[in-house]
Amino acid sequence: MTCFALKKRIVSSQCSALLVGVAMLLSGLAADPAQAARRKDGKPVEVSQRAKKAAAPARGVDKKRQVRKGVSRAALRRGAVAGAAATAVAVAPRLSYGQASGLHETADPLDLKSSVALVVDQDTSEVLFSKNHQAVLPIASLTKLMTALIVTEARQPLDEALVITHEDIDTEKGSRSRLSPGTVLTRGELLHLALMSSENRAANALGRNYPGGLPAFAAAMNRKAAALGMNSTRFVEPTGLSSSNQSSAADLARLVKAAYQHPLLREFSTSPAHEVDIGPRTLHYSNTNGLVRNPGWDIGLQKTGYIVEAGRCLVMQAQMAGRKLIMVFLDSAGKQSRLGDAERVRRWLESGASVRSPGQPLSGTRDKASLS
């Protein structure tokens, strides 16, 4: 399904919710007012003559007041309808591309919450588990792994001071950042924050300070993707805030394998926390992946990502069951579900059980041709 079709399906679901909300409101406005004046036994409440007289409009009331009152009531009704419409839009569920295309309907024996998953032996390229691994979806901040790879391989000086500017403010999603315009950090510090805590302004500043600026940086990202054989991948910017940054699990496994060759990227992406000094203040940042603080995991490289269109995403290189593995989880539903999926895969691997991947041969069958 094309990205245009997915967006059309998402908008359609939101419009349906809007129409339902408006219809409910209009039906409420059209309800019989007399129903409000009934006792518990269902009989109408008798109104005294005095009450009727008090409720009746006084004789000689200015007709202009009546007109204004009618206009005011009509305005209130219009305002109520508009408010209901806004509420309907606000509460309408926003679907990820994977949800809109039905990828979550794919069942798997591990009951993963991610609609896309891939587990590969790093050394042999053996596919141990796969689920919709060729589906192309937005990848959110997994983008920053390619951003870091481009900066590192360009050999730009890590001790060079860079300035955060208004150009680095997120106008795509309106995300927050503690790096206000005017903040000065080294390229190395920005790289660390982009990988470890997914700092968007840091990532954008890295791309902006590449020779040729952001357009040249995006072009370099796409050239590297092509060189790695990431044929289903496209980048338009260095943060992942744009849903146009898209890839597949199979392509991302190649990216993880390439990034793992750089010790600096392994160190920066897996550090549990980091502090940076900004003038008189010290900012404390934590890793977005809680598994790096879990002593039961041996993680060599990782990156998380999230935007609505992509769902919760995670890529990792980790050692378990005596093997170096690359794990990719895309479009996971639920804030902690991607970490839960990683735990499910680990328990399965350590148990030594065999499962059949959706649409794939029995787990353990070698498939080097597609991922080597």
Q: Give dist(CA 188, CA 152) in Å, integer.
A: 10
HSE of 37, CA atoms in CB hemisphere, 13 A: 7
| pTM flag (> 0.85) | no
Counts for the chain of helices (H) and strands (E), in that order: 12, 11
- Give the dihedral sign, CA 310/315/320/321: positive
Tens digits of residue pLDDT in 112-166:
999 999 999 999 999 999 999 999 999 999 999 999 999 999 999 999 999 999 9
Domain spanning 97-371: which superfamily? DD-peptidase/beta-lactamase superfamily (3.40.710.10)
* Residues contacting residue 341 through CB under 8 Å, at least 6 positions apart: 110, 112, 113, 114, 117, 314, 329, 332
Residues acting as catalytic residues: 141, 144, 198
Report the pLDDT averaged over residues 208-234.
98
Sequence ranges of the domains in the chain: 1-28+66-94, 97-371
pLDDT of 176 = 93
Host H or E run for residue 184: strand 184-186
Q: Is a pLDDT exceeding 50 seen at residue 43?
A: no
Spatial CA neighbour of 203 closest among 194, 211, 212: 194
Tens digits of residue pLDDT in 254-304:
999 999 999 999 999 999 999 999 988 999 999 999 999 999 999 999 999
